[in-house]
Structure formats: structure tokens, C-alpha cells
Amino acid sequence: MKYPITLIACVFTLNLFAQAPVKITTASNAPSKPKLVVGIVVDQMRYDYIYRYWDKFGSDGFKRLVNEGFFCRNTNFNYVPTYTGPGHTSIYTGTTPAVHGIIANDWFDKKTGKYLYCAEDDAVKGVGTSEVEGMRSPVNNLTTTITDELRISSNMKSKVIGIALKDRAAIMPAGHIANAAYWYDGSTGSFITSTYYMKELPSWVQDFNKKELAKKYLSQPWNTLLPIEQYTESLPDDNKYEYIAKGETKPVFPHNLPQLMAANGGFNMIRSTPFGNSLTKDFAIEVIKNENLGKSAATDFLAVSFSPPDYIGHTYGPSSVEQEDDYLRLDKDLAELLKFLDKQIGKKDVLVFLTADHAAPEVPSYLMDLKVPAGYVNEEKILKDLKNYLLITYGDTLVLSYINQQMYLNHKVIVDKKLELQQVQEKASQFLQNMAGVSEVLTASALNNTSFNEGSRYLMQKGYNANRSGDILVNYLPAWMDFSKTGTSHGSPYSYDTHVPLIFYGWNIKQGSSAEQVYITDIAATLAMMLNIQFPNGCTGKPISFLVK
């Protein structure tokens, strides 16, 4: 039998090496890895808050992250809509709604003709609650997360847990094979989960709930942390751009929480106060302690999201004393969490990153008073006018829904009437283009047939999922939205919504900063390279070059 020449060469080479001293790889020169990764997402955090409140921050919260970590100062979302569900999913999957399918918080389901919530799952039940808020899971996310990949790569030895007041902000980051995700039940003030993860709350979660911390936090008025005259970064406390809570006559401090609670959502009221951050921080510390995170040979992962800044932004806006106070208090909560991590695990063994699920614009009515172009669209009127136009043109209103700035057309009627779908989309688009506040309109046909490389059209394409998105995507002018004239909202492709902070800190992270543009989808790819594991299966982001060599 003749051996192929390459095999003979191989055997010969192996023999040569057999005589050389053998270098045995030991645990000490295996690639190092963190004991724990803590992913922190601040809901509705603009990157400029770091600088805006810098002088008021303590030295051991945000400042510690920036001064000891690496600050990617030009991190951007690369799709629309910039909402919470897609935001958290994109951070952890390393891709955009086009691929992971979480196209919004709620969307019109073309198959059932009903509205679907992003974390809705009728196949599961609540654990710790009988409310519908318990029927939640990550089942609507079509791809794996970095946390899923960590579990798979460690043969399920790594523990992964997600927590937040908002269910979607706990569930999407934790992924499909998480050990647990816990979120807040505003009807009881407790942390709950669903049968997707477990049959019963662990005893330590039950004990935590028994402490009734939400009730305690809400038993005192919300006063400013510092004397109110020191909030010079914000508008006067009493201004017309803020929502007035039921039972108050002005939107001013102190907000008497015990008195206001009953009329303003009961225990849900903690969501729109900084004490919701403190409650999340308290729970995060209990998770780490009771689940022994960071104490085994495998890398564990805790995904924490702080939801209150989003509620406070919607209620009072980015330039309110309320939002400033929220961030000053969040700074203290972060400091406490970092200090706990020092003691419990040690900074060199914990990898922390902090980012946001989207940012937010100034209150449009405030911008209008400053003579900055801004405005309010009326989506109800847009929908009504389009339906009337289509009724006159085609003899049917043809629209099933207008949600997330997407029109869903009635394909069945279009087929029955022997109309051309593309032609109807174009006709409707031309009509919509002329509506007040509309900047551009894209049809699904255009998105399916053209590849956009930059600008808002690129972002619309990255947010467009052919199976789930509508027939026509509408973009509004900068600082235009369908919202009340108090507080603000988000969702646009403009930098006020897309530009967020990103800070890496702790294990193997050198101090520094960069203004180079990176994308939110790069976070999961960077983590995969740091942890030497697979990218999430739909990942379209790239590792950030100055963080991983």
C-alpha cells in the first residue's frame, strides 16, 4: 500500500517533534476569563448626560466607570425604531430587527391580525403573579444572544440571569436558555418570572419580596438629593414642558409619593421615580449573593437594566430637575453596586459594560419655543386621511393598522380586487409624503429590492423585517413625534435617539476613550471575542478594534 506523500511527511514531522521537549499547557497559561460579566443598560440614557451632570456626580459611580474604564463616546444605534424591546435585543444579539425580528415593543401580527407584545408568550404562565404580565418569554426573538452563546459554550455551566423593572428589559438580554429572568409586578410591588424559566420563585426571591421594599421606597416624598438651587443644568422645576401627576397642581418637588400613589398606578409609581433604580440595584446585589454569581470556574452573566430614566424622560423630559435628580441618584446606586462587586468578586475578575437601549430628544414644545424646528404629528389623522384617499381611489380603505410608523395594508382585499400591491404601496406613499411632519416614506417593495448604505433609509432597512414589518415605513422630520406636549419620546433615526454611552470597565480593560464611531451591534461581537466564544447566530456587528486586539 502506497501512502500519499503528504501523510509520510506528516508522520516524519511528528517524529521530529516527539524528540523535542513537550510544552504542557497548564491552567496558568490558559486564556484568562472574567468570573462575572455585568451588563448594565440604562433605559433612555443620552451619551451627553455623562458630561452634563459630571460636576455633580460622585467619584465612585459614573465617574469611576469613565476614569477607570474605556468610554466609546460615539456609540450609535444602527436601525429604527429606537425603542426599548428592539434596543435590549440588539445589544445582546449583536444584530438589528431585520434579523432578530423584535421590530418594536408591540407590533401588528400579519398572521393573526392582532397586536403582539414583543415578550408575549401565551404558552407560559406567570410565576409569583396571576396577572397577564407574567405571560412572558423571549420566544419572539429569532436569534441567539451573547448570553445564550455563553451558556452553550460552557456546556450550561455559566449562569445567566436578567433583571429589570420592565419585563422585556430583563427577558431579551437573558436570552433563550437563561437560568432566570425577573421583572417587576406593579400590582404587588414584587419581582416575578414565568413558567418559561421555573415553576416556583426561589426562596431567596420570595424572601426579598417579603421585605416589601417598593412599599418602603414609596412611603416617603421624593425630594431632591441636593438643595434644589444647585440643579443649574436643568430648566426651572416649575415649567410647562412637564406632565403634572394626578393629585398635583404643579410638576414640582417634593413629589408626595405616599399621597400620589393611589391615583398614579399604585406600586407602578416607583417606575417613574429614582427609587425604582434603587430597588433594581438592591435586587441585583441579592441575585449575585444568592445565586453565587462569579464563584465558579465558569463565567457567569448578570444583565441588569435600569428602567426609571425612561419613565422619567417620558414624564418630565431630558432638561427637568426630575431627570437630573434621577441620574444623580442612579450614580449613587451604581457606586454601591460597583463597591459590592469589589468586595464580592474583585474588580479584576468582573467585566462590566454600561450602555443604553436608546436616547431621547428635547421636549418638542420646548424646542418650538426656542424657535428650533420641531413639531407634533397626529397619527390618527394621518391614518384617517390615508384611508379616505384609498377609499376614493380603490373603493376600500385597504389599511389594517398604522403602528410604529408603519402602514399594514390588507393584502387579501388587494388580491380580491385584483390590485397590484406595489402600485398601492406607491400610491399611498405619495399621499403620505405630503402630510405635515413627514420627511420620507419607503415602501416594502423598495426595501426588498434596494440596498441602502447610509442615512435614515439604511436605518429603516435595518429595522425592517420582511415577515413582520408593514408595507410602508414613514419617517418624521427631526424633533417631530406623535406625543403629548409634555415630556418626550423616542424611536427616530436621528442622533438624539441613536447616540448612547458605552463604557467597558474591569477585567482586562485599559483606561481610555475614543470618538470613533461604533455601533450598538458591536457590543455582542466584542464580548464574544473577549470571552473566546461564538458570536450570536444572527450577529452582524464587529468587534470594537480598540478593545480587542
Q: In angstroms, give the least distance from the CB of 172 to Zn ion.
A: 11
Q: Is 137 left (phi over 0), alpha (psi -120 to 50) or beta?
A: beta
Radius of gyration of the chain (CA): 25
Grouping H, G, I as helix, E, B as strand and the rest as coil, residue 512 is strand
Residue nearest to Zn ion (CB): 84
Q: In angstroms, give the least distance from the CB of 50 to Zn ion.
A: 18
Nearer to Zn ion, 43 or 133 (CB): 43
Q: In angstroms, give the least distance from the CB of 268 to Zn ion.
A: 15
Q: In angstroms, give the least distance from the CB of 314 to Zn ion.
A: 6
Q: Is 440 left (phi over 0), alpha (psi -120 to 50) or beta?
A: beta
From the candidates 84, 96, 315, 521, which is the catalytic residue? 84
Nearer to Zn ion, 325 or 357 (CB): 357
Our measurement of the distance from residue 389's CA atom to the centroid of its chain's CA atoms, rounded to an integer in Å, reads: 37
* 167 lines the binding site for Zn ion (CB under 5 A): no
* 84 lines the binding site for Zn ion (CB under 5 A): yes
Nearer to Zn ion, 84 or 89 (CB): 84
CA dihedral 415, 416, 417, 420 (to 10 degrees): 10
**Largest separation between any pair of C-alpha atoms in the chain:** 97
- CA 30/CA 46 separation, integer angstroms: 39
Helix residue ranges, H only, 303-454: 308-316, 321-344, 364-369, 379-394, 411-416, 421-433, 444-449
Strands of the sheet containing 399-403, edge to edge, are 399-403, 406-409, 472-476, 438-443
- CA 322/CA 239 separation, integer angstroms: 12
Binding mask 424-463 for Zn ion (x = CB under 5 A): ----------------------------------------
Grouping H, G, I as helix, E, B as strand and the rest as coil, residue 188 is coil
CB-hemisphere CA count at 13 Å for 187? 9
Q: In angstroms, give the least distance from the CB of 311 to Zn ion.
A: 8
Segment near Zn ion (CB under 5 A); pick from 37-45, 107-115, 365-373, 378-386: 37-45
Nearer to Zn ion, 76 or 84 (CB): 84
- CA 221/CA 293 separation, integer angstroms: 35
Nearer to Zn ion, 271 or 468 (CB): 271
Nearer to Zn ion, 133 or 357 (CB): 357
- CA 80/CA 87 separation, integer angstroms: 10
Asked if 93 contacts 144 with a C-beta cutoff of 8 angstroms, the reply is yes
Q: Which of 33, 39, 43, 274 touches Zn ion (CB under 5 A)? A: 43
Nearer to Zn ion, 301 or 306 (CB): 306
SS3 content of the chain, % helix, strand, coil (to 5): 40, 15, 45
Q: In angstroms, give the least distance from the CB of 43 to Zn ion.
A: 4
Nearer to Zn ion, 194 or 315 (CB): 315
Q: In angstroms, give the least distance from the CB of 488 to Zn ion.
A: 9
Nearer to Zn ion, 172 or 447 (CB): 172
Residues from 273 through 312 that contact Zn ion (CB under 5 A): 310
Active site residue 96: no
Grouping H, G, I as helix, E, B as strand and the rest as coil, residue 489 is coil
Asked if 76 contacts 521 with a C-beta cutoff of 8 angstroms, the reply is no
Our measurement of the distance from residue 15's CA atom to the centroid of its chain's CA atoms, rounded to an integer in Å, reads: 56
| Number of residues near Zn ion (by CB under 5 A) | 4
Asked if 136 contacts 183 with a C-beta cutoff of 8 angstroms, the reply is yes
Residues in CB range of 412: below 8 A, 6 or more apart: none
Segment near Zn ion (CB under 5 A); pick from 39-47, 134-142, 182-190, 445-453: 39-47
- Residues constituting the chain: 549
Binding mask 340-379 for Zn ion (x = CB under 5 A): -----------------x----------------------
First to last CA, the chain: 48
Segment near Zn ion (CB under 5 A); pick from 77-85, 122-130, 316-324, 414-422: 77-85
- Among candidate residues 501, 497, 544, 503, the one with its CA nearest the CA of residue 525: 544
> Residue 440 is inside which H or E element, if any?
strand 438-443
Q: In angstroms, give the least distance from the CB of 176 to Zn ion.
A: 21
Per DSSP, which regions of 208-318 are E strands?
300-306
Q: In angstroms, give the least distance from the CB of 86 to Zn ion.
A: 9
Q: Which residues are catalytic?
A: 84
Residues that bind Zn ion (CB under 5 A): 43, 84, 310, 357
